[in-house]
Homo-oligomer: A and B are copies of this chain.
Amino acid sequence: MRFFVEIIIMPKKELLDPQGNTVKNNLHLLHIDSVSDVRIGKCIHMQLEANDRDEATHIVEKACSELLANPIIEEYTFRLRELSNSEPCSS
């Protein structure tokens, strides 16, 4: 089975996010004043092959915890979507 995976890696809620704060201030300079709590993270899209959804989940967990996310300062979530064989690429 082939899966499309979207992984979201964000700075932990209890940590300050200076990059998000800078973006918020710049949005205010563009007169977009109604925005608050801006936080910036990473989004990773990939495709993977696995025998079933459980194996796919295990692979993504391993990729996140061993390479993609820094567990001290970041937290991650992911969504899996099964691809049909005729779907070449998807987002």
Contact = CB atoms under 8 A, between A and B. Distances in A.
Interface of A: 6, 8-10, 13, 20, 23-24, 26-27, 30, 32, 34-50, 59, 62-63, 66-68, 77, 89, 91
A48 B63 contact: no
Nearest to A40: B44
Contacts of A37: 45-47, 89
Please state the number of chain copies in the assembly.
2
Contacts of A13: 89, 91
Given A23-B68, A63-B27, A91-B10, A45 B39 contact: yes
Contact of A36 (B9, B20, B48): B48
B35 A48 contact: yes
